């Protein structure tokens, strides 16, 4: 007896295996991620402290907030581009909130130091929060206002809150520098006095 049209289709699917009727469902798409951008002095250090945060998917060192397109490290460090060394953070909002990222940021910078951080001086080392949407702007400004009100240390809060603009990734040798060049990185971080100043500012709350 010749099989019916429906039976023929079923038989063909079984013989063909995955990829036709009855194939396994495709895997669920990866969870949506979001971006946040922070400037906190040397981007090597900013990358390191955000890399430790559960829920952060990736970090990229780069330049933003200035005028020059596709700047080089040498151009940025000259102070003539208007750019700041910054880090673009990709994170999973289901695992870490933007509010938490703000808290981590504040505890790892000196928000009272204008145009510089620790031993690095110039507007290219300024502190800044570059918001990507209205909600990030609201939370960033609220966190800065709360810090200014609580006054945990002397000095005015000079950290900038500005709209995120074009972000230019830094040269490859700068990426994950704390991992690829740990000895040089530790020497720089210690010599720059970053950890000592953070303890002075934040005490046990310093990260």
Which residues are known catalytic residues? 42
Note whether 44 and 188 are within 8 A (CB). yes
State the residue for tokens 């006095």: 193
* Tokens read off for 67: 């005028």
Strands (E), 10-149: 34-40, 56-64, 84-91, 116-117, 120-121, 127-131
* Exposure letters 29-65 (e unless 16+ CB within 10 A, then b): eeeebbbbbbbbbbbbbbbbbbeebeebeebbbbbbb
Q: Count the neighbouring beta carbons within 10 Å of the beta carbon of residue 192.
A: 17
Note whether 62 and 20 are within 8 A (CB). no
């Amino acid at each position: 007896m010749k099989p019916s049209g429906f039976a023929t289709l079923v038989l063909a699917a079984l013989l063909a295996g995955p990829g036709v009727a009855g194939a396994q469902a495709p895997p669920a798409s990866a969870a949506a991620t979001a971006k946040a951008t922070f400037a906190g002095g040397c981007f090597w250090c900013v990358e390191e402290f955000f890399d430790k945060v559960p829920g952060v998917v990736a970090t990229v060192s780069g330049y933003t907030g200035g005028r020059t397109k596709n700047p080089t490290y040498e151009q940025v460090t000259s102070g003539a581009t208007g750019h700041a060394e910054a880090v673009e953070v990709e994170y999973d909002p289901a695992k870490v909130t933007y509010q938490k990222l703000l808290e981590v940021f504040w505890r790892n910078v000196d928000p009272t130091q204008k145009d510089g951080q620790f031993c690095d001086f110039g507007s290219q080392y300024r502190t800044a929060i570059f918001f990507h949407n209205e909600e990030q702007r609201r939370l960033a400004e609220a966190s800065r206002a709360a810090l200014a009100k609580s006054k945990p240390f002397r000095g005015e809060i000079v950290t900038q809150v500005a709209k995120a603009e074009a972000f230019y990734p830094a040269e490859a040798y700068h990426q994950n520098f704390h991992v690829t060049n740990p000895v040089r990185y530790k020497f720089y971080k210690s010599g720059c006095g970053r950890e000592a100043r953070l303890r002075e500012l934040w005490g046990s709350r310093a990260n």
